[in-house]
């Protein structure tokens, strides 16, 4: 779509070339959302592609993803076998049901910044305890957890002029067993609920709830709870008003499937050995 209010497109090559922020500015990442609907208030685009960030870096401390890493680049990553959580990366990529054109253009950072409940990169980042590195307008840097980054549908924690630079996933999170469950109202529909369980070597369990709720939640347990305890924690953590309501699912349905998928994940991760999916 032509964005008829846009007057200027800037393509900075380095941080020092980033313009001073002004009202009407928007970062351009893949543009899969930005160019998909009118943006009447947007006068200037700051194209992040020119910054040339390497899409990913692997090291002993974990996995770093540039905000501009595309879904296709993430899906193609070859991760070490000791990172048993690796299949989760692909499962989350495949939860964004777009054509190859969308996959090759949409970015990890754009998915987080858009802050849609059904953002699969939000689910991945939350489940694997990613930390978001943010470039502030004054040249400083700050970091936030993914759960603190996404505030509500379409609302993130960035302040005016701030840019999401990267996500860092700690190696410890990548060595956890995982279980992934997703449901939508139609076979190729947007996620109505997307839940991820993780279990560490000491038996600790965490349940990430996304898509069915307005913002991501990560519920932490010292050990695997029984069904009743899990349901109680879910009910306490998610009041009725936190369930999302849009064309992709009504809150009562989302609550029902969230509880159902949570129990499936609990069962899948109850064994001591073996990989879950």
- Per DSSP, the residues of 69-100 read -BHHHHHT----TT-TTHHHHHHHHHTS---H
Q: Tell which residue, 128, 220, 217, 138, has the closest CA to residue 175.
A: 128
179 binds ligand FAD (CB under 6 A): no
In the 8-state DSSP scheme, what is residue 202?
A: T
E strand or H helix that includes residue 146: helix 146-149
C-beta of 255: minimal distance to ligand FAD in Å?
20
Going by C-beta distance under 8 Å and a sequence separation of 6 or more, which residues neighbour residue 232?
none
3 binds ligand FAD (CB under 6 A): no
* Identified binder of ligand FAD from the candidate list 118, 196, 213, 217, rule CB under 6 A: 118
Q: How far is CA 187 from CA 191, 246, 247, in A?
A: 10, 17, 15
33 binds ligand FAD (CB under 6 A): yes
Q: Footprint of ligand FAD on residues 239-268 (CB under 6 A)? A: none
Going by C-beta distance under 8 Å and a sequence separation of 6 or more, which residues neighbour residue 85?
128, 173, 174, 175, 176, 177, 178, 198
106 binds ligand FAD (CB under 6 A): yes
Q: By rule CB under 6 A, what string of x and - marks binding of each residue 59-78 to ligand FAD? A: --------x-----------
C-beta of 129: minimal distance to ligand FAD in Å?
20
109 binds ligand FAD (CB under 6 A): yes
C-beta of 196: minimal distance to ligand FAD in Å?
15
Q: How far apart are CA 74 and CA 63, in angstroms?
A: 11
What tokens does 183 get? 């449901």
C-beta of 17: minimal distance to ligand FAD in Å?
16
29 binds ligand FAD (CB under 6 A): yes
Q: Which is nearer to ligand FAD, 34 or 268 (CB)?
A: 34
- Enumerate binding residues for ligand FAD (CB under 6 A): 26-34, 36, 48, 67, 96-98, 102, 105-107, 109-111, 113-114, 116, 118-119, 158, 163-164, 190
């Amino acid at each position: 779509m032509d964005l008829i209010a846009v007057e200027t497109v800037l393509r900075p090559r380095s941080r020092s070339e980033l313009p001073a922020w002004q009202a009407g500015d928007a970062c351009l990442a893949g543009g899969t959302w930005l160019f998909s609907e009118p943006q009447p208030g947007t006068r200037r685009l700051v194209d992040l592609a020119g910054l040339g960030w390497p899409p990913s870096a692997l090291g002993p401390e974990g996995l770093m993803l540039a905000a501009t890493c595309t879904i296709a680049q993430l899906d193609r990553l070859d991760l070490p076998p000791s990172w048993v959580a690796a299949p989760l990366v692909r499962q989350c990529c495949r939860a964004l049901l777009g054509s190859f054109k969308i996959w090759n253009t949409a970015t990890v950072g754009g998915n987080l910044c858009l802050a849609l409940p059904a953002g699969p990169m939000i689910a991945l980042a939350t489940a694997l305890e990613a930390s978001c590195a943010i470039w502030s307008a004054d040249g400083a840097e700050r970091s936030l957890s993914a759960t603190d980054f996404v505030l509500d549908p379409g609302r993130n924690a960035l302040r005016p002029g701030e840019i999401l630079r990267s996500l860092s996933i700690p190696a410890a999170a990548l060595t956890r067993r995982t279980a992934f469950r997703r449901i939508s109202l139609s076979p190729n529909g947007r996620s109505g609920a997307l839940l991820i369980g993780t279990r560490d070597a000491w038996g600790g369990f965490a349940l990430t709830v996304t898509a069915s709720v307005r913002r991501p939640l990560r519920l932490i347990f010292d050990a695997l709870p029984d069904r009743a305890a899990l349901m109680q924690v879910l009910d306490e953590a998610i009041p009725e008003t936190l369930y999302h309501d849009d064309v992709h699912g009504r809150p009562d349905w989302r609550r029902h499937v969230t509880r159902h998928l949570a129990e499936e994940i609990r069962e899948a991760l109850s064994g001591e050995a073996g990989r879950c999916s």
